[in-house]
Structures are given as structure tokens and as C-alpha cells.
Amino acid sequence: MTKLNRIGLIAVATVMGLGVTTTAMAASKADCRAYANLAVTQYGRMQALNLGCTGFRWHNWYDGHYQWCRSTSKASARSEAIVRQRALFTGQC
């Protein structure tokens, strides 16, 4: 299994884990730590794949992802992680 495949597998597992949480409440600190780690990992994978994605969702600034997550719901954070993961799988930003 290549490093990128392992990263992708970890990312999918994390997204699925975020999906198990209750969506009505604001994202918790633990949820947001996981979200920010996943976002930075997904950014790295996007770079490795040379996709050239840009914009607010594509950066490696952990604190930025974490702070955004803390300001939104679990559902929004989960949705954002899924959008990035879908872009990685399809190769389209």
C-alpha cells in the first residue's frame, strides 16, 4: 500500500468518524482537531497529486481550519471534509 493510499484511507475513516457525531450542535474541540488534521492531510494529498486546487478550503494552515470548524456545526465541518475528499478522488477541485 502506497503512502498516498494510506493517507486516503485514513482520511476516509476520519470523515466517516465525523459523520457519526450529532450534527445539531457546534463542533467540539476534539471534532475540530480531527477536522483540522484531516484538512491539512487532504491539502498535502492534493499537492502530491498536483491538482492545483485553490481557495478557502485548500491550505495547510491547521489553526485556520480549526478556528473555522469551531465557528460552525459538526454537519458543516463534515460536509467540507467530504467535498475535499470527493475532489481528491475525482481529481477535480
For 23-71, the pLDDT digits (tens) are 457 899 999 999 999 999 999 999 999 999 999 999 999 999 999 999 9
Look at residue 1 and tell me whether its pLDDT is greater than 90: no
Q: Which three cell numbers stand for residue 5?
A: 493510499
Structure confidence at residue 15 (pLDDT):
55
Residue 72 lies in a domain: yes
- Residue pair 91/65 in contact (Cβ under 8 Å)? The answer is no
Domain total of the chain: 1
Structure confidence at residue 26 (pLDDT):
86
How far is residue 65 from each of residues 2, 37, 42, 80, measured CA to CA in Å? 26, 8, 12, 10
Residue 2 lies in a domain: no
The beta-carbon contacts of 13-20 under 8 Å, at least 24 apart in sequence, are 14/38, 14/81, 15/78, 15/81, 15/82, 15/85, 18/74, 18/77, 18/78, 18/81, 19/78
Residue 42 lies in a domain: yes
Q: Give residue 42's domain range.
A: 26-90
Residue 21 lies in a domain: no
